[in-house]
Amino acid sequence: MKRSVAGAAMIALVCLGAVESVSTDGQGGNSPGRSGCSVLPSWGELRSALKQARAQGNGGLNLDMWGTIVDRDGIVCAVAFTGNDRDDQWPGSRVISAQKANTANAFSLTGLSLSTANLYTAVQPGGSLFGLQESNPVDHDVAYRGNAANYGRASDPMVGGRIGGVNVFGGGLALYNENGRIVGGLGVSGDTSCADHNIAYRTRHTLLLDYVPGGVSGDASRPDSIVFDISYQAGQMPGASAGGFGHTSCHGYNANGNTTSSGFAASLPATR
- CA-to-CA separations, 195 to 179, 188, 236, 239, in angstroms, rounded: 28, 9, 24, 22
Q: For residues 138 and 99, is the Cβ–Cβ distance under 8 A?
A: yes
Specify the pLDDT at position 266: 79
Percentage of the chain exceeding pLDDT 90: 64
- Could you tell me which of 270, 271, 35, 90 has the C-alpha nearest to residue 175? 271
What is the spatial distance between Cα 156 and Cα 177, in angstroms, rounded to a whole number? Answer: 25
Radius of gyration of the chain from its Cα atoms, rounded to whole angstroms: 21
pLDDT at 92 over 90: yes
Give pairs for 23-26: CB < 8 Å, separation 24+: 25/160, 26/75, 26/160, 26/162
Please give the pLDDT value at position 267: 84
CATH of 32-266, one of 2.60.15.10, 3.30.450.150, 3.20.20.10, 3.40.50.620: 3.30.450.150
Alpha carbons 123 and 130: distance in angstroms, whole number: 4
- Cβ atoms of 248 and 120 within 8 Å: the answer is yes
Domain residue ranges in the chain: 32-266
β-strand partners of 188? 67
Of 122 and 66, the one with more pLDDT: 66
Average pLDDT estimate for 29-34: 46
CA 158 to chain centre: 14
% of the chain at pLDDT higher than 70: 79
Q: What is the pLDDT of residues 181-215, one digit of tens each?
A: 999 999 999 999 999 999 999 999 999 999 999 99
Residue bearing the bigger pLDDT, 236 or 61: 61
- What average pLDDT does the structure give for the chain? 84
Rounded CA gap, 239 and 127, in Å? Answer: 13
pLDDT tens digits along 104-154: 999 999 999 999 999 988 888 888 888 888 889 999 999 999 999 999 999
For residue 211, with 0-12 CB atoms within 10 Å meaning exposed, 13-18 middle and 19 or more buried, which class applies? Answer: middle
d(CA 220, CA 203): 19
Residue 17's pLDDT band, with cuts at 50, 70 and 90, is very low
Q: What is the DSSP string of 69-120?
A: EEETT-BEEEEEESSSSGGGS-TTHHHHHHHHHHHHHHT-BTTB---GGGGT
Which residue(s) pair with 186 in the sheet? 69, 173
